[in-house]
Amino acid sequence: MKKHNFNAGPSILPREVIEQTAQAVLDFNGSGLSLLEISHRAKDFKPVVDEAEALFKELLDIPEGYSVLFLGGGASLQFCMVPYNYLNKKAAYLNTGTWAKKAIKEAKAFGEVDVVASSAEANFNYIPKGWTVPQDVDYFHYTSNNTIFGTEIRKTPEVGNVRMICDMSSDIFSHPVEVEKYDLIYGGAQKNLAPAGVTFVVVKNDSLHKVDRVIPTMLDYQTHIDGGSMFNTPPVLPIYTALMNLRWLKAQGGVPEMARRAKERADLLYSAIEDSKIFVPTIADPEDRSYMNICFVMKEEYKELEPEFMTFATERGMVGIKGHRSVGGFRASCYNALPLESVKALVACMKEFENK
C-alpha cells in the first residue's frame, strides 16, 4: 500500500533525494569510498558544503554580507547561542508556542526578556496581534511556524528599527523571506530540508561582536563563519542530503513554486476540514493557519470517534497524522516534499469516514 507521509519531523524528503543519498553512502562521486568514510576536508567534500551554501543563498535570495552555516546541536542549541551572541541587556520575544517558550527560557539566563505578546492563555491557537516592540532592545525573536500548534507568521512582522532573529525550522523555503531585515535566521533541518543532525544558520556578518561577555569558541558564530562550517567535523551526511534537496528545490522552481504548492495543499485540506460535518480546524482565523502543519480535531459531538478515525486512516496508508499531545486530534504536516496526491488521499479518506 502507498504510504502518505505526514510526519511532523523528521519528515518527508523527495524520493530522488533519498536515492541520491543512498548512492553516495555506497559510493561517493565514483571514488570507490562511502560518503561515510572520507575526510570532511577531502577535496571532494568541500565542494558539497560550498555548493550547499551557494544554493541556500540563491534560493532564499540572501543579500551580500550574510553567511550560511551548517552546524550541530539542533534548533534547540540556537535558543542559547542566540542570546549568548546578541543579548547584551534586553531582548524582545513573541510567545507563540512550545518552541518560542523554550527560546525565551534560555534568553532569560543572559539578560532581560520582554515578552511582547503571548497566546499561551488560549493554548496558542492564534497569533497575537497589535503588539509593539520596544525600540531599545538588542533584537526581536519570533518563531515563524509553530510546528506543534499549527499557526504561522508568513509576513515579515513590523518592528520599527529593531533587528530580527527568527526560528524558521519548519517553514524554511516554503515562502519568500525578506532576509535583509534579519540579523539571524536558524532552524533544525529535519522538518523541511534534510534528515536530522544539521542546523542551518543564516547570519549577518557585521551583526556580531556587540556583547561584552566572553563566548565559548564553539558557541561563537564568528568561529563558524571563519571556519566555513568546518571549524570542527560537520555533519557530512545531512549536509549532503541538504545539497541534494536544494538542487531538487531549484529544479522544481525554487521558493515561489514551493509557496504556490504549499498554498494549494493547505487550501485543499483546510476547505475539506471546514466543509466537513465532523471535523473542525483548531486554528479559527485563516490568516493564522499554518500551511505546513495543519491541525484539526473532531467536533465535540463526534469526539469519541477520533481513535476510530486514526485506525481508519492508518489502514489507508496515512502516516504521522496524530496530533501533538498538547493539542490532541490530528496534525497533517505538509512540507515541501509532500505531493498534492497525498493531501487528496487524506481528504478522500476523511470523506469516506464521514459518509460511513
Residue 167 sits in the site that holds ligand PLP (CB under 6 A): yes
From the list 99, 138, 171, 288, the catalytic residue is 99
CA–CA gap between residue 290 and residue 292 (Å, rounded): 5
Q: Tell me the three state secondary structure of residue 147.
A: coil
Q: Which cell numbers in the block locate residue 182?
A: 534579519
248 given a catalytic annotation: no
From the list 167, 171, 183, 220, the catalytic residue is 167
Q: What is the number of other CB atoms lying within 10 angstroms of the CB of residue 137?
A: 23
Residue 94 sits in the site that holds ligand PLP (CB under 6 A): no
Alpha helix (H) ranges present in 61-97? 74-86
Residue 188: CB minimum distance to ligand PLP, A? 3
From the list 138, 183, 191, 220, the catalytic residue is 191
Q: What is the number of other CB atoms lying within 10 angstroms of the CB of residue 22?
A: 10
155 given a catalytic annotation: no
Residue 7 sits in the site that holds ligand PLP (CB under 6 A): no
Nearer to ligand PLP, 28 or 291 (CB): 291
Residue 169 sits in the site that holds ligand PLP (CB under 6 A): yes
Among 5, 7, 29, 76, binds ligand PLP (CB under 6 A): 76
First CA to last CA distance, the chain: 22
Residue 302: CB minimum distance to ligand PLP, A? 29
Q: Choose one: 42-50, 63-71, 73-81, 83-91; the region binding ligand PLP (CB under 6 A).
A: 73-81
β-sheet bridge partners, residue 204: 66
Q: Tell me the three state secondary structure of residue 282.
A: coil
Burial letters 240-278, b for 16+ CB under 10 A, else e: bbbbbbbbbbeeeebbeebbebbeebbebbbebbeebeb
Could you give the string, one character per residue 106-145, with x where binding to ligand PLP holds by CB under 6 A and - elsewhere?
A: -------------------------------------x--
99 given a catalytic annotation: yes
- Provide the annotated active-site residues: 99, 167, 191
Where does this chain bind ligand PLP (CB under 6 A)? 9, 74-76, 99, 143, 147, 167, 169-170, 188, 191
